[in-house]
Homo-oligomer: A and B are copies of this chain.
Amino acid sequence: MSDLAAFRRAAHAAVDWVGDYLAGIERHPVFPRVRPGEIRARLPAHPPETAESWDTILGDLDRVVLPGITHWQSPMFFGYFPANASGPAILGDLISSGLGVQAMMWATSPAATELETHVLDWMVDLLALPDRFRSTGRGGGVIQDTASSASLVAMLAARERKTGFETNRTGLKGTLTAYSSSQAHSSIEKAAGIAGIGREHLRLVAVDQAYAMRAGALEEAIRADLAAGHTPFFVCATVGTTSSTAIDPVRAIGEICRRYGLWLHVDAAHAGSAAVCPEFRWIHEGLELADSYCFNPHKWLLTNFDCDCFYVADRAALIETLSIRPEYLRNQPTESGAVFDYRDWGIALGRRFRALKLWFVIRAYGAEGLRKHVRNGVALAQEFAGWVKTDSRFELCAPVPLNLVCFRLKAGDEANERLRDALNASGRMYLIHTRLDGKVVLRMAIGGTYTERRHVERAWVLIRETAAGLPRLG
């Protein structure tokens, strides 16, 4: 494939492979029937000495790879949260790969940087986010790989702002304390470890019956730390927790953050996309009090992983925290201050041209198309929740504000684990569990690119029938 004619032939074949895969996706078991090590065993122990043909390589996709794929794009995949891929996003990625440019600085590809800034401002329009996140003021947006990275850099900027940008320079001193609800994503705790704060210094604040943070408990925790001589510096509020899409009270939390001088980061990784629809924008109530915010179009907004949109209200604090200027990265546009250099907005120096796929998605669907996709997921989840209520063997375990239904068999943890395992082993659908109030709960996350009503209906039939067939539990 060293010449471009060969590339074209191979590329057209690859496109057809992807088209065929997506068209036939329902033929595969959603979760693959492989044991650990089985895929590796099909691969040669050592790399080839000479080139192999494209036909051989493409053929191995079917022979070696597909039998070991968990089909996230299947309309019967209801695990985790959706990982929306879509035609325009796939092609945005393709063209980004073909261009092969770096988006680390303005000078390394001006269009990559300016399109990123611009499309992230478009997202402020689309989600009706607070104006302070726009690049045209003191804020701005940037694409991170994941919400894990976004939360980490938010925590770092918060750490630096609180310590006068001294920790970065001279190392951590004393005890800084951070806060999230007990339902916050594990990446917040991981970030506290990475940043040198210590995982124990992330206080897991109690939640209410809807699994949302109790603002009163947050304030008590901050006061207790202050009384102990610690330095509270950071709160992560979650809009749509991973376990149950609980929505923390952002305004109340934000007011506390203002009162005590803490950085407020709002993690809306999954749920944020819902705000393309006016009727769901209540989830962001109070967001104008936040210092930073993120949501992932790569979850529920038809844009391939990776694409986390991360916003800050004061970009200077972020840049001051993460910038470093060796000689070999100096250039006139950077020195002029007239441009953004996104390497100073995240961990990695090198960066892909990811704005392209987001631009393609927004244009190919339009605001209208994006709203339709979100509404479809929410409507199906609401309908599914209604079905659960009609079956006396089951119960709902949390409010269903959006597109995730947490439910369980009343028969106990073991019954739910067996039900999950039997459904997943059938290959006909896939879901995972979580724990709420210590109980095993099944999570039905709806919103795949190709998921229609008939798939959710079929899932409910499978769940009911499988539950009926479970051996009676002691």
Q: Which residues of B contact A114 (CB under 8 A)?
A: 37-40, 68
Please encode chain A, from 48 to 89, with 1 for each CB lying within 8 Å of some chain B CB and 0 for all others.
Answer: 111110101100010011111111110000001001111111
Tell me the bound Cα distance from A80 to B4 in angstroms: 25
Whether A468 sits at the interface, judged by CB under 8 Å, is no
A-B contact pairs, 12 of them (CB 8 A): A11-B18, A40-B114, A46-B125, A47-B363, A48-B362, A50-B367, A52-B364, A57-B363, A73-B99, A168-B199, A190-B347, A196-B197
Pairwise interchain contact A196-B196, C-beta atoms closer than 8 A: yes
Considering only residues 146-185 of chain A, those with a C-beta below 8 Å from chain B are: 146-149, 152, 156, 159, 167-172, 175-176, 185
Nearest to A194 among chain B residues (CB) is B156
The secondary structure that dominates the A interface is helix
Tell me the bound Cα distance from A83 to B270 in angstroms: 33
8 closest pairs, A vs B, by CB?
A196-B196, A68-B111, A171-B198, A85-B100, A18-B98, A7-B87, A168-B193, A39-B114
Tell me the bound Cα distance from A73 to B145 in angstroms: 23
Tell me the bound Cα distance from A98 to B32 in angstroms: 17
Interface residue from B6, B19, B305, B339 paired with A102 (Cβ < 8 Å): B305
Whether A209 sits at the interface, judged by CB under 8 Å, is no
Q: Which residues of B contact A47 (CB under 8 A)?
A: 122-123, 125-126, 362-363, 366-367
Pairwise interchain contact B11-A87, C-beta atoms closer than 8 A: yes
Pairwise interchain contact B118-A43, C-beta atoms closer than 8 A: yes
Tell me the bound Cα distance from A179 to B417 in angstroms: 50
Pairwise interchain contact A40-B91, C-beta atoms closer than 8 A: no
Asked if A195 meets B198 with Cβ closer than 8 Å, knowing A47-B122, A101-B69, the reply is no
Whether A412 sits at the interface, judged by CB under 8 Å, is no
17 more contacts with CB within 8 A, not counting A54-B364, A68-B114, are A11-B18, A11-B87, A21-B98, A31-B107, A47-B126, A51-B365, A66-B111, A72-B99, A73-B99, A83-B100, A83-B102, A93-B94, A168-B193, A168-B198, A171-B196, A306-B348, A327-B433
Nearest to A371 among chain B residues (CB) is B49
Tell me the bound Cα distance from A86 to B348 in angstroms: 22
